[in-house]
Structure 1
Amino acid sequence: SFEAQIASTNSAGNPKYLTGALFGKAAFEESLVSPGEWFTLEARCRQRKITLLLNGRRTVDYEIPANSPKSGYIALQGWSGGPIEFRRIEVRAVDSE
Protein backbone atom coordinates (compact mmCIF):
# COMPACT_ATOMS: atom_id res chain seq x y z
CA SER A 1 0.00 0.00 0.00
CA PHE A 2 1.01 3.61 -0.48
CA GLU A 3 0.16 6.64 1.65
CA ALA A 4 0.48 10.27 0.59
CA GLN A 5 1.39 12.14 3.76
CA ILE A 6 -0.98 14.98 4.67
CA ALA A 7 -0.10 15.62 8.34
CA SER A 8 1.96 18.80 8.51
CA THR A 9 3.23 18.48 12.07
CA ASN A 10 4.12 14.84 12.68
CA SER A 11 7.37 14.27 10.76
CA ALA A 12 9.56 13.65 13.84
CA GLY A 13 12.45 15.13 11.84
CA ASN A 14 12.22 12.47 9.14
CA PRO A 15 11.60 13.80 5.59
CA LYS A 16 9.80 10.55 4.66
CA TYR A 17 6.98 11.76 6.93
CA LEU A 18 6.65 15.41 5.85
CA THR A 19 3.53 16.66 4.09
CA GLY A 20 3.94 15.81 0.40
CA ALA A 21 6.07 12.71 1.01
CA LEU A 22 5.09 9.16 0.14
CA PHE A 23 4.91 7.95 3.74
CA GLY A 24 7.90 5.79 4.65
CA LYS A 25 8.93 5.30 1.00
CA ALA A 26 9.90 8.57 -0.70
CA ALA A 27 11.10 11.65 1.18
CA PHE A 28 10.48 15.30 0.49
CA GLU A 29 13.12 17.44 2.17
CA GLU A 30 11.25 20.76 2.50
CA SER A 31 8.26 21.78 4.60
CA LEU A 32 5.86 23.64 2.29
CA VAL A 33 2.82 23.98 4.56
CA SER A 34 2.26 25.24 8.08
CA PRO A 35 0.05 23.52 10.66
CA GLY A 36 -3.60 24.40 10.04
CA GLU A 37 -2.96 25.73 6.54
CA TRP A 38 -5.17 24.53 3.65
CA PHE A 39 -3.25 22.97 0.78
CA THR A 40 -3.82 21.04 -2.41
CA LEU A 41 -2.38 17.55 -2.77
CA GLU A 42 -2.60 15.78 -6.10
CA ALA A 43 -1.66 12.11 -6.42
CA ARG A 44 -1.17 10.71 -9.91
CA CYS A 45 -0.79 6.97 -10.37
CA ARG A 46 0.10 5.94 -13.91
CA GLN A 47 1.40 2.56 -14.93
CA ARG A 48 4.18 1.87 -12.37
CA LYS A 49 4.74 5.46 -11.19
CA ILE A 50 3.30 7.62 -8.40
CA THR A 51 3.70 11.39 -8.63
CA LEU A 52 2.67 13.72 -5.81
CA LEU A 53 2.15 17.46 -6.21
CA LEU A 54 1.74 19.73 -3.19
CA ASN A 55 0.27 23.13 -4.05
CA GLY A 56 1.31 22.46 -7.65
CA ARG A 57 4.93 21.62 -6.78
CA ARG A 58 6.19 18.12 -7.51
CA THR A 59 7.32 16.48 -4.30
CA VAL A 60 7.58 12.79 -5.25
CA ASP A 61 8.23 10.68 -8.35
CA TYR A 62 8.20 7.08 -7.17
CA GLU A 63 8.64 3.94 -9.26
CA ILE A 64 6.31 1.25 -7.97
CA PRO A 65 8.12 -2.09 -7.48
CA ALA A 66 7.16 -4.75 -10.03
CA ASN A 67 5.83 -7.12 -7.35
CA SER A 68 3.29 -4.56 -6.01
CA PRO A 69 -0.45 -5.05 -6.57
CA LYS A 70 -1.84 -3.35 -9.68
CA SER A 71 -5.09 -2.26 -8.02
CA GLY A 72 -6.45 -1.49 -4.58
CA TYR A 73 -8.44 0.89 -2.45
CA ILE A 74 -8.38 4.62 -1.83
CA ALA A 75 -8.76 5.69 1.79
CA LEU A 76 -8.60 8.91 3.83
CA GLN A 77 -7.32 8.75 7.39
CA GLY A 78 -6.38 10.96 10.29
CA TRP A 79 -3.79 9.74 12.74
CA SER A 80 -2.61 12.76 14.75
CA GLY A 81 -5.72 13.06 16.91
CA GLY A 82 -6.37 16.63 15.76
CA PRO A 83 -9.08 17.81 13.41
CA ILE A 84 -8.66 16.99 9.72
CA GLU A 85 -10.86 18.46 7.03
CA PHE A 86 -11.12 17.56 3.36
CA ARG A 87 -12.81 19.44 0.56
CA ARG A 88 -13.20 18.96 -3.19
CA ILE A 89 -12.02 15.37 -3.33
CA GLU A 90 -11.86 14.08 -6.90
CA VAL A 91 -11.00 10.63 -8.19
CA ARG A 92 -10.60 10.33 -11.94
CA ALA A 93 -9.56 7.48 -14.19
CA VAL A 94 -6.78 8.23 -16.65
CA ASP A 95 -6.28 6.69 -20.05
CA SER A 96 -3.67 3.95 -20.00
CA GLU A 97 -0.70 4.49 -22.26
Structure 2
Amino acid sequence: MTPQTIFVGILGVTLLNGFISPMVPLVFIMAPVWLPEFVPPTRIVLLYGTSLIVSVTTLMLSAVPAGIFERLTGREETDQTSMFIWLGAAILLTLPGLL
Protein backbone atom coordinates (compact mmCIF):
# COMPACT_ATOMS: atom_id res chain seq x y z
CA MET A 1 0.00 0.00 0.00
CA THR A 2 1.49 3.33 -1.03
CA PRO A 3 1.32 6.51 1.03
CA GLN A 4 -0.96 8.00 -1.65
CA THR A 5 -3.61 5.32 -1.16
CA ILE A 6 -3.43 5.72 2.61
CA PHE A 7 -3.90 9.47 2.12
CA VAL A 8 -7.13 8.79 0.22
CA GLY A 9 -8.32 6.88 3.29
CA ILE A 10 -7.33 9.80 5.51
CA LEU A 11 -9.35 12.16 3.33
CA GLY A 12 -12.35 9.86 3.51
CA VAL A 13 -12.20 9.69 7.30
CA THR A 14 -11.85 13.46 7.63
CA LEU A 15 -14.77 14.06 5.27
CA LEU A 16 -16.88 11.67 7.33
CA ASN A 17 -15.93 13.59 10.45
CA GLY A 18 -17.04 16.80 8.75
CA PHE A 19 -20.58 15.45 8.64
CA ILE A 20 -20.90 13.62 11.97
CA SER A 21 -18.63 15.51 14.36
CA PRO A 22 -20.12 16.94 17.54
CA MET A 23 -18.32 20.18 16.62
CA VAL A 24 -20.55 20.78 13.58
CA PRO A 25 -23.34 22.56 15.54
CA LEU A 26 -20.81 24.82 17.26
CA VAL A 27 -19.17 25.84 13.97
CA PHE A 28 -22.64 26.31 12.43
CA ILE A 29 -23.61 28.73 15.22
CA MET A 30 -20.35 30.64 14.71
CA ALA A 31 -21.19 31.30 11.04
CA PRO A 32 -21.32 35.10 11.42
CA VAL A 33 -17.64 34.97 12.38
CA TRP A 34 -16.31 32.87 9.48
CA LEU A 35 -18.80 33.55 6.67
CA PRO A 36 -17.76 36.34 4.27
CA GLU A 37 -20.16 39.21 3.67
CA PHE A 38 -20.55 38.51 -0.06
CA VAL A 39 -21.78 34.93 0.48
CA PRO A 40 -25.53 34.58 0.96
CA PRO A 41 -26.18 33.00 4.38
CA THR A 42 -28.51 30.27 3.15
CA ARG A 43 -28.86 27.04 5.06
CA ILE A 44 -27.11 24.88 2.45
CA VAL A 45 -24.13 27.26 2.21
CA LEU A 46 -23.78 27.22 5.98
CA LEU A 47 -23.96 23.42 6.14
CA TYR A 48 -21.37 22.92 3.39
CA GLY A 49 -19.07 25.56 4.88
CA THR A 50 -19.38 24.06 8.34
CA SER A 51 -18.62 20.59 7.04
CA LEU A 52 -15.60 21.86 5.12
CA ILE A 53 -14.20 23.71 8.14
CA VAL A 54 -14.53 20.68 10.42
CA SER A 55 -13.04 18.36 7.78
CA VAL A 56 -10.00 20.55 7.12
CA THR A 57 -9.47 21.07 10.85
CA THR A 58 -9.53 17.30 11.38
CA LEU A 59 -7.06 16.83 8.54
CA MET A 60 -4.63 19.35 10.03
CA LEU A 61 -4.94 18.20 13.64
CA SER A 62 -4.52 14.54 12.77
CA ALA A 63 -1.27 15.33 10.93
CA VAL A 64 0.41 16.58 14.10
CA PRO A 65 1.19 13.14 15.62
CA ALA A 66 2.61 11.93 12.30
CA GLY A 67 4.79 15.03 12.05
CA ILE A 68 6.04 14.58 15.59
CA PHE A 69 6.79 10.92 14.86
CA GLU A 70 8.77 11.84 11.75
CA ARG A 71 10.73 14.50 13.64
CA LEU A 72 11.56 12.19 16.55
CA THR A 73 12.69 9.32 14.32
CA GLY A 74 14.67 11.60 11.98
CA ARG A 75 12.92 10.44 8.82
CA GLU A 76 13.62 12.35 5.64
CA GLU A 77 10.49 11.24 3.76
CA THR A 78 6.96 10.31 4.67
CA ASP A 79 6.48 6.56 4.58
CA GLN A 80 3.73 4.06 5.33
CA THR A 81 4.27 4.18 9.06
CA SER A 82 3.81 7.95 9.20
CA MET A 83 0.71 7.74 7.03
CA PHE A 84 -0.80 5.03 9.24
CA ILE A 85 -0.17 7.21 12.30
CA TRP A 86 -1.93 10.05 10.48
CA LEU A 87 -4.83 7.74 9.62
CA GLY A 88 -5.05 6.49 13.20
CA ALA A 89 -5.16 10.03 14.55
CA ALA A 90 -7.90 10.93 12.07
CA ILE A 91 -9.92 7.89 13.15
CA LEU A 92 -9.47 8.84 16.82
CA LEU A 93 -10.77 12.35 16.08
CA THR A 94 -13.76 10.84 14.26
CA LEU A 95 -14.73 8.41 17.04
CA PRO A 96 -16.79 10.92 19.11
CA GLY A 97 -19.07 11.46 16.13
CA LEU A 98 -19.48 7.73 15.55
CA LEU A 99 -20.46 7.09 19.16
TM-score interval, normalised by the smaller of the two chains? under 0.3
Structure number with the bigger relative contact order (C-alpha 8 A, sep ≥ 6) is 2
Answer with 1 or 2: which has the greater Rg: 2
Q: Which has the higher helix share?
A: 2
TM-score, normalisation: structure 1: 0.24
Q: Which has the higher strand share?
A: 1
